[in-house]
Amino acid sequence: MLVLGRSQVEALIDLDALIDALAPAMADLSSGSASAPARIAALVPEQEGFLAAMPGYVPSADVLMAKLVSLFPHNAGTPLPTHQAAILVFDSATGAPAALLDGTAITAARTAACSALSARLLAREDATLLAVLGTGVQARSHIRAMCRVRPIREVRIAGRVPAKAADLAAELSSELDVEVRAVPTYVEALDGAHIAAATTHALEPVVRRPWLTPGVHVTSVGYNPDGREIDDATIADALVCVESRQAALAPFPAGSNDLLMPIRHGVITPEDVHAELGELISGHKPGRTSPTQITLYKSVGVAVQDAVAAALVVAAARVESVGAYVTLE
């Protein structure tokens, strides 16, 4: 069995290839040919954390795998990430374990890559200004991914701790050929933005309808079981898209308060969720219909994303002879 550590996984991830590979995987999910049951979780109430299990099979990528992922929010501000994961890949013909790899880097990359895919499908072609809300792993990943699908020229970063936003802006300014700067508030970050990426653990919405410019594409990947990132008015006005209706509208730990709360408030109904990404890709549902329309992609994370990312990494590792081999017998 091949074993890959985090630094090896990070070095092997090809973000452009991952964005491309996610499209057929999401189409598989929407058509029903992929298998990705809603995640289940063991709760750790003392730490307000949980450990979730996410198995998945994607026929277009010929990959069968299971991810175990923990969410421990009190790790924020420590050397440990809030999300940590391990992925076990199985031979899809025999069911034999084939690879064990760090899933933390894959979770970061696949989440941002699918947000970038949503921007490729829904954001205006001339989108040049990106607002990023949050300063953690997903903020960094989203900036890198969004710059691959739209001609981004300016990135504004805002977070709860201004110093962290400034540090992230300085780090990415030296890496990317775009202007990256920190701003004091979410309002200032969103002002005039063509794409807005929310990547927080917010209790109260960090994206509010009066702060949005007509035509903006919003992505929301943040998760807090007691809060949400997007306000009711934005959900009501936007063309809402998800990875999977079943996953997004499921109860904890699978679903999204960003959608479940406005449904409970009577602001929208489940039928107002316009499309899954796979339905946009297959042409079964239309995407943006006007330059001024607000579009929204709400992500809860689904196993097919991890499966595709893991398959790409394992294939690259075998080509480059990276990793160690162990036997379980």
Q: Where are the domains of the chain?
A: 2-107+304-325, 122-301
Contact in structure between 147 and 127 (CB atoms under 8 Å): no
Query: How does DSSP classify residue 230?
Result: B
240 neighbors 272 (Cβ within 8 angstroms): yes
Report the candidate in 329, 326, 321, 328 with the shortest Cα–Cα distance to residue 3: 326
Q: Would you state the pLDDT for residue 59?
A: 93
The helix or strand, by DSSP H or E, that contains position 320, with its residue range, turns out to be helix 303-320
Mean pLDDT of the chain: 96
pLDDT at residue 96, rounded to an integer: 96
Residue 329 pLDDT: 76
CATH architecture assignment, domain 2-107+304-325: 2-Layer Sandwich (3.30)
The pLDDT assigned to 219 comes to 98
- Stated pTM of the model: 0.95
pLDDT along the chain (329 residues), means of 10: 97 98 97 93 94 96 96 88 94 96 96 98 98 96 98 98 96 95 98 98 96 98 92 98 96 91 96 98 97 98 97 98 92
**DSSP bridge partners of 180:** 155
CA 179 distance to own-chain centroid:
23
The sign one gets for the Cα dihedral 56, 312, 277, 261 is: positive
Give, in order, the Cα–Cα distances in Å from 90 to each of 7, 65, 98, 311: 22, 6, 5, 10
Considering the domain 122-301, what is its CATH architecture? 3-Layer(aba) Sandwich (3.40)
Q: Which residues pair with 2 in a beta bridge?
A: 99, 325
- Which positions ≥6 away from 90 have C-beta within 8 Å? 64, 65, 66, 96, 97, 98
122-301 matches 2-107+304-325 in CATH topology = no
- Identify the helix (H) or strand (E) that includes residue 275: strand 273-276
